[in-house]
Structure 1
Amino acid sequence: MTPFAIAGIQMHVAALHSNVEAMLHRVDILMARFPWTQMALFSELAPYGPLHRFAQPFPNEALEQFQQKARQHKLWLIPGSMFRKLEDGRLMNSSVVINPEGEIVKTYDKMFPFRPYEEGISAGTDFCVFDVPQVGRFGLSICYDIWFPETTRQLTSQGVEVLLHPVLTGTTDRDAELAIARATAAQFQCYVFDVNGLGAGGVGRSLVVDPSSLVLHQSAGQEDIFPIEVDLELVRRQRETGMKGLGQVLKSFRDRDADFSVYDRTSNVDAYLKTLGPLETPRQGSPAGLTATDPRTALETAESSRVETYGAAVYRDNLAPFPLARGDGE
């Protein structure tokens, strides 16, 4: 076993002023209490909270302070995320990975902003995978990303063994998110570090799960600093022999017979999804979904449309090679 200790830091996040100094202070506390820690992870939007008005370009002064702190403690540091302003004016929800030399080795843009609520935030398209030398491979996703298993599938298919997952969840779906975190660990045979904030940063209840879905730590609703030592040999052993000697899910996916045509945007397999209404915030007394199209009807309509389109194309193509008949005397 190569010991590697990762600490989640669940702290109060303010919305109206910077939390950077408070974050730096908590890193100092972490390293004073648990000097064997090798990586620290904060919650989503911890540095400046959830308001867009604090968006700024990268690099910036806050990142420089985090880089200096990582260098001071020889610590891998993921300071949650913050809104990043691009040169073209777009806003991203972005995180960075800082190594113990104080270098930013990765920048990640959230792939699935929490729409329609996270309005005005553009989506990233690049995955975040990085290696800790002599330890293993790590991946980063942000909050709502984990609701889409394709994101973790992509990461673990590239060998990711620990999923770092900063979140800002202050809503009533936290229970569902915790269930998804446990299911993700089991489905993809990886550790999951799910770190939430407090106050404007969420309702807490941060979670660490091992690759068998065993909960190693569950925070409550107060500030918490929780270093957990991971064993990546456990990940590798389980991926070879199965969870508890049973399901070898990554190898089963590799050796699958099925192809998933739903990922081909031209396949029309997702016809039912196209019958759903627009992605928008529900209104008071909204009847949305009460008269939704029956999935069977949607599929029948889509198939009929496909056949009609195909038939029209065949008719058109068969007309082209044949000239119009000439009448007698012409």
Structure 2
Amino acid sequence: MTVMSIAGLQLALPANQNNFDTIAREVSSVKKRFPHVGMVVLSELATFGPAPRHAEPLPGDTEARYAKLAAQTGVWLVNGSLFERAENRVYNTTSVMSPDGEVVARYRKMFPFLPYEEGISAGSEPCVFTIPGLGTIGLSICYDMWFPETVRALCWQGAEVIIHPTLTNTIDRDVELSIARSNAATNQCYMVDINAASPMGVGRSIIVGPGGEVIHQSTGEHDVILFDVDFALVRRVRERGWQGLGQPLKSFRDHPVAYPQYQPDARSKTLDGLGPLKKPDNLA
């Protein structure tokens, strides 16, 4: 068996309060209604909203509650993310819990949404984990996917499905949908992009298959997104091409080019000329 059923929860949760009990009810309800669900995915910062004052050390109390919830419901549980306090820094961190209640992965967002996500430190390590008997899953958070190197690094390490909690409430959500499709197509993987509904986000979560095909796209309302991922399909697409067409991962592997932007001490006059990373000034 190479198929796993996943439920993405696009929830309408208030910011700046503890939403855990509501989330726990939703997770339990989904598992009760759909006993075959193997994984549940939440949106970025679903528990408390985008307030760093709620940062906790990891391991911590909230993560432990999620681990207990995973064990009670018997699912792989991706908690969206929490703000993590570590070594006088704050990170935006996703935790993954197994059906046994074990924390099997933690991923720190590598690209905080600067200059707006102030005071949040960047992680430095791509993160994948393996579900025995099924396949390998990579973790990505929100703004990370605007940088194609992040998803490519995950797939380089074997990821066949990218779990991508996000929290977007801005006009660029439509652009993010196209980026999700592009990342799926160029890396021949599933993209599972789960956003929050109003009031925290604008919804429009998207599930994309390994050819860039849209499996489901939500509206802005509360949505329980139930779908199957087929790891064997990913492997077939990577071997033969989607619909027997392009095989980009093989071409990337085999091409001898040494990209200049990735060489040691590489600098770009164009990028250096853009000025500092800061909030825009008033337009003249």
Same-fold call, TM > 0.5? yes
Residue number in structure 2 paired with 1:302: none
Rounded to whole Å, the distance in 1 between the matches of 2:209 and 2:145 is 16
Rounded to whole Å, the distance in 1 between the matches of 2:188 and 2:204 is 22
RMSD over equivalenced CA pairs, Å: 1.1
Residue number in structure 2 paired with 1:276: 274
Q: Which one-letter code corresponds to 2:111 in the other structure?
A: F
Q: Which one-letter code corresponds to 1:38 in the other structure?
A: G
Rounded to whole Å, the distance in 1 between the matches of 2:44 and 2:90 is 15
* More deviation, 256-265/105-114: 256-265
Q: Do the aligned partners of 2:198 and 2:221 also contact (CA within 8 Å) in 1?
A: no
SS at 1:237 equivalent: helix
* More deviation, 58-67/21-30: 58-67
User: Which digits, 9 at most, give the CA deviation of each residue in 1:195-214, with x for residues without a partner?
Assistant: 00023431001110100111
Residue number in structure 1 paired with 2:22: 22
Once the two structures are TM-superposed, the CA of residue 60 in structure 1 deviates from its matched residue by: 2.0
Once the two structures are TM-superposed, the CA of residue 273 in structure 1 deviates from its matched residue by: 0.6
Q: Do the aligned partners of 1:44 and 1:201 also contact (CA within 8 Å) in 2?
A: no
Asked whether 1:41 is paired with 2:41, we answer yes
User: Which digits, 9 at most, give the CA deviation of each residue in 1:297-328, with x for residues without a partner?
Assistant: xxxxxxxxxxxxxxxxxxxxxxxxxxxxxxxx
* More deviation, 192-201/92-101: 192-201
Q: Do the aligned partners of 1:139 and 1:160 also contact (CA within 8 Å) in 2?
A: yes
Residue number in structure 2 paired with 1:103: 102
Q: Do the aligned partners of 2:16 and 2:50 also contact (CA within 8 Å) in 1?
A: no
Rounded to whole Å, the distance in 2 between the matches of 1:123 and 1:265 is 20
Q: Do the aligned partners of 1:146 and 1:152 also contact (CA within 8 Å) in 2?
A: yes
Asked whether 1:221 is paired with 2:181, we answer no
Once the two structures are TM-superposed, the CA of residue 33 in structure 1 deviates from its matched residue by: 1.3
Residue number in structure 1 paired with 2:65: 65
Q: Which one-letter code corresponds to 2:137 in the other structure?
A: F
Q: Do the aligned partners of 1:50 and 1:200 also contact (CA within 8 Å) in 2?
A: no
Rounded to whole Å, the distance in 2 between the matches of 1:200 and 1:114 is 19
Q: Which one-letter code corresponds to 1:213 in the other structure?
A: G
Q: Do the aligned partners of 2:44 and 2:195 also contact (CA within 8 Å) in 1?
A: yes
Asked whether 1:232 is paired with 2:250, we answer no
User: Which digits, 9 at most, give the CA deviation of each residue in 1:133-152, with x for residues without a partner?
Assistant: 00000000000000000001
Q: Which one-letter code corresponds to 1:64 in the other structure?
A: A
Once the two structures are TM-superposed, the CA of residue 265 in structure 1 deviates from its matched residue by: 4.5
Once the two structures are TM-superposed, the CA of residue 121 in structure 1 deviates from its matched residue by: 0.3
Rounded to whole Å, the distance in 1 between the matches of 2:199 and 2:128 is 29
Q: Which one-letter code corresponds to 1:272 in the other structure?
A: T
Once the two structures are TM-superposed, the CA of residue 183 in structure 1 deviates from its matched residue by: 0.6
Q: Which one-letter code corresponds to 1:273 in the other structure?
A: L
Identity level (%): 47
- Based on CA coordinates, which of the two structures has the bigger radius of gyration? 1
Q: Do the aligned partners of 2:71 and 2:100 also contact (CA within 8 Å) in 1?
A: yes
Asked whether 1:83 is paired with 2:83, we answer yes
Asked whether 1:150 is paired with 2:185, we answer no
Q: Do the aligned partners of 1:6 and 1:227 also contact (CA within 8 Å) in 2?
A: yes
Once the two structures are TM-superposed, the CA of residue 267 in structure 1 deviates from its matched residue by: 3.2
User: Which digits, 9 at most, give the CA deviation of each residue in 1:93-137, with x for residues without a partner?
Assistant: 011010110000111100000000001000000111000000000
Residue number in structure 1 paired with 2:56: 56
Q: Which one-letter code corresponds to 1:222 in the other structure?
A: E
- What pairs with 1:244-283 in structure 2 (closer than 5 Å)? 244-268=243-267, 270-283=268-281
Residue number in structure 1 paired with 2:123: 124
SS at 1:124 equivalent: coil
Q: Which has the higher contact order (CA 8 A, sep 6+)?
A: 2
Residue number in structure 1 paired with 2:240: 241
Relative to 1, partners in 2 of residues 1:117 and 1:200: Cα closer, same or farther, differing over 3 Å?
farther
Rounded to whole Å, the distance in 2 between the matches of 1:276 and 1:196 is 31
Q: Do the aligned partners of 1:44 and 1:168 also contact (CA within 8 Å) in 2?
A: yes
Asked whether 1:285 is paired with 2:283, we answer yes
Q: Do the aligned partners of 2:15 and 2:49 also contact (CA within 8 Å) in 1?
A: yes
Residue number in structure 2 paired with 1:300: none
Structure 1 segments of 4 or more deviating over 4 A? Answer: none
SS at 2:69 equivalent: helix
Q: Do the aligned partners of 1:9 and 1:225 also contact (CA within 8 Å) in 2?
A: yes
Once the two structures are TM-superposed, the CA of residue 261 in structure 1 deviates from its matched residue by: 1.6
Residue number in structure 1 paired with 2:196: 197
SS at 1:151 equivalent: helix
Rounded to whole Å, the distance in 1 between the matches of 2:74 and 2:139 is 20
Rounded to whole Å, the distance in 1 between the matches of 2:265 and 2:128 is 29
Residue number in structure 1 paired with 2:174: 175
Q: Do the aligned partners of 2:19 and 2:48 also contact (CA within 8 Å) in 1?
A: yes
User: Which digits, 9 at most, give the CA deviation of each residue in 1:263-315, with x for residues without a partner?
Assistant: 124233x22111111100112215xxxxxxxxxxxxxxxxxxxxxxxxxxxxx
